[in-house]
Amino acid sequence: MYAHAAANRNRQAGPVYTRPVITGTSNAEISARARIASRLLPFLFLLYITNYLDRANLAYAALGMSRDLGLSDSVFGTAAGIFFIGYLSLQIPGAILVERWSARLWLAGTLITWGALTTLTGWVHSAGQLYVARFVLGMAEAGFFPGVIVYLGHWFVYEDRARAVARFMSAIPVSFIIGSPLAGKLLGVHWLGLPGWRWLFLMEGIPAVALGIVTAVWLPDRPGNARWLSPAERECIAARLRAEKEAKSSVKHYGVLDALTHPPVLLLSASLLFSYTAGYAFVFWFPTMLKRASGWTDLRVGLVGTIPYLAGFVGMQIFAWSSDRMRERRWHFAVTQVIAIAGLCLLLGAPGSLALAVTGFTFIGMGIECSYPCFWSLPGALLTDASAAAAVGFINSFASIGGYIGPKVLGTLSQHTAGFAAGYWFMLASYAIAALVVLLVPGRQGAISS
C-alpha cells in the first residue's frame, strides 16, 4: 500500500523523517478519515472555544476590573502574563500522559479544574488575589493544548494534519467572535450587587466543568477504541498511522531528552517564543487599545473587536489548505508573521486614523490566527511517539514565556510612555525575529519542505 522514500540518516543535515509516498488509498481509509474528522473535530473545537474564553476573558474584564480594583497598566500586564508562569508547569507531563496514558481522562480533568478556577476568579478583590487566581488557572490549563496536539497525531494522517489543526484551532478566533460581544454586553450589567466583569468570570467557567464530565464519557483515546468506526476502517487507519510511524522510527529514534535538544526543536521553540510574545501582547491589550483609540462604549468595542478574529478565521482555513496542498510549513508560518508586521506598520504610520487602526488590528489578528496550523504541523513531522509528545510540550512551554513577557512589557511601556507606539515597535521586532528563526529550521522533502 505504501512505498517509503529514502531516509536521510544524517541528524545534523535536517529532519529525521521522510514522509511515506502514498500509492493507493482504499475506500475504507477514505471513509475512516472522513468519519474521524466529522466526529472528533467539532467536539475538540467546542472544548478549545471554552478553553480560550476562560483564558482570555481577562482582556475584556479589564475594562471594568481595572477601574474597580484600581489596577495600573503595569499591574494589569503582570496579571495577564502571570497566567503563563503557571502554564509552564504541566506542558511536557500533559503531552506525555496523553501519549502513554489516556487523552480522555487527562483532558476531562483539566476542563473540570480550570472551569472551577475561572468561576473563583470572579471573587477577587485585589491585585494580589488576581495574580494568584491567574497563576493557578495557568497551571490548570497547561496540559490541554499540547495534549490535544499529540491526540490529533493519534488519529490524523500527515496530509490531513494541518487542516485538522486548523479546524481545531479555529476555535481561537471563534471564541473571540462569540466572547467579545458577550463580554461587552455582560460588562454593562449589575446583577445581585455584582458588576458585570465578575459575572463574566462566573458564567464562563461553568461550561468547562460540564464539558469535562462529557469528555470523560464520550471521547475515545485511539482509533481502536472507536466503536463508530467499522473494523475495516479501524484497521486501515491504524495501518496507515503505523506506516508513518515506521517511516520516522526507521531513520532515527530519539529519546525524550534527545528530542528536547534536537536543533530543529530548539529553533521552533525560539521562533514561537517571539511569536507568542507579540501575539499575547495583542490578545490581552487589544480591547484596551481599541477603547482608548475610539472612546466607544464597552459593547461597541466588543462588537468591533470581532473583526480581526473573523478575518483570522477565514485566513486560517486558507493557510491550512495551502500548507497541506504544498506540503510546506516554514514559509507559510513566516508569511503570517509578515502579515502581522504589516498591521503594526499601519498603526505606526497613521496613529490618528481610526479606520487604519481597525485595519491594522485586523492584519495583526489575521497573522496570529493563520500561523497556528502551519506551525503545529511541524513538531510531529520531526519526531515520533513520546519524543514528539515531549517536543510539543517543550515548545509550547518554552514559547509560553512570551505570554508573560508580551503583556507585561506592553503594559510597562504604555504606562511610561503614555501610549502604545513603543509597544507596537516591540511587537514588530518580535514578529520579525520569529519569521527569521523559523526559516533556519532545515527543510527537506516530506515532513518539512523548503
Cβ of 48: how many Cβ atoms within 10 Å?
20
Q: What angle do CA 82, 137, 153 make, to 5 degrees?
A: 105
Note the pLDDT of residue 377: 78
- Contacting residues for 439 by C-beta, under 8 A, at least 6 apart: 330, 331, 334
Note the pLDDT of residue 258: 65
Note the pLDDT of residue 362: 97
177 inside domain: yes
Query: Residue range 378-391: average pLDDT?
Result: 67
95 inside domain: yes
> Distance of CA 148 to CAs 94, 165, 167, 368, Å?
10, 9, 12, 19
Element (H, E) at 3: strand 2-3
More confident position, 7 or 183? 183
Q: Please report, rounded to a whole number, the percentage of residues in the chain having pLDDT higher than 90.
A: 51
Q: Is 416 helix (H, G, I), strand (E, B) or coil?
A: helix
- The pLDDT-based confidence of 161 (bands split at 50, 70, 90) is confident
Q: Is pLDDT of 15 > 50? A: no
446 inside domain: no
Note the pLDDT of residue 9: 33
- The pLDDT-based confidence of 93 (bands split at 50, 70, 90) is confident
Nearest to 410 by CA among 428, 422, 398: 422
Note the pLDDT of residue 446: 37
91 inside domain: yes
| Phi, psi values for residue 307, rounded to 5° | -60, -50
Note the pLDDT of residue 29: 84
Q: Model-level pTM?
A: 0.78
Determine the Cα–Cα distance for residues 35 and 58; give it in Å rounded to an integer. 37
Q: Is pLDDT of 254 > 70? A: no
Query: Residue range 256-284: average pLDDT?
Result: 88
Q: Under a CB-based contact definition with an 8 Å cutoff, are residues 448 and 442 in contact?
A: yes
Q: Give the CA radius of gyration of the chain.
A: 22
Q: Is 156 helix (H, G, I), strand (E, B) or coil?
A: coil
Q: Under a CB-based contact definition with an 8 Å cutoff, are residues 262 and 382 in contact?
A: yes
Q: Is 389 helix (H, G, I), strand (E, B) or coil?
A: helix
444 inside domain: no
Cβ of 261: how many Cβ atoms within 10 Å?
10
Query: Residue range 290-319: average pLDDT?
Result: 93
283 inside domain: yes
CA-based torsion, 12, 17, 19, 20: positive or negative: positive
Q: Is pLDDT of 10 > 60? A: no
47 inside domain: yes
| Domain count within the chain | 1
CATH of the domain at 120: 1.20.1250.20
170 inside domain: yes
Residue 292 lies in domain = 27-438
Nearest to 103 by CA among 222, 217, 214: 222
Query: Residue range 324-330: average pLDDT?
Result: 86
Note the pLDDT of residue 3: 37
- Contacting residues for 190 by C-beta, under 8 A, at least 6 apart: 196
Note the pLDDT of residue 384: 59
By mean pLDDT, which of 94-103, 205-214, 257-266, 299-308 is the weakest? 257-266
Cell of 346: 499601519
Mean pLDDT in the chain?
Answer: 85
